[in-house]
Amino acid sequence: IYTAYNTETQEKLDSIYSDEWLLEDQTAIGEDSPPQSAIVVLDNSTAAVIAMEGGVGEKTENRSFNRATDMLRQPGSSIKPLTVYGPAIEEGIVTPYTTINDSPFDYDEDGYPWPVNAYHSYYGYITVSYALLYSTNTVAVKVLDMLGLENSYDWAVNKFRLKTITEEDIDYPCLALGGLT
**By three-state DSSP, how is residue 127 classified?**
strand
Residue 65 CA to residue 74 CA, distance in Å, equals 18
Q: How much is the pTM?
A: 0.73
**Predicted confidence (pLDDT) per residue in 107-163, tens digit:** 999 999 999 999 999 999 999 999 999 999 999 999 999 999 999 999 999 999 999
Q: CA angle 16-17-20, nearest 5°? A: 100
Instruction: Find all residues with CB under 8 Å of 147, minimum gap 6, and list them.
Output: 84, 87, 88, 91, 93
pLDDT digits (tens, 9 = 90+) for 65-81: 999 999 888 899 999 99
Beta bridge partners of 40: 52
Cα–Cα distance list, 130 to 76, 98, 99, 136 (Å): 18, 10, 9, 8
Q: What is the model's pLDDT at position 181?
A: 87
Would you say residue 25 has pLDDT above 90? no
Q: What confidence score (pLDDT) does residue 34 get?
A: 66
**pLDDT > 70: percent of the chain:** 92
Distance of alpha carbon 82 from alpha carbon 6, whole angstroms: 32
Q: Does 19 or 79 have the greater pLDDT score?
A: 79
**Confidence class of residue 92 from pLDDT cuts 50, 70 and 90?**
very high
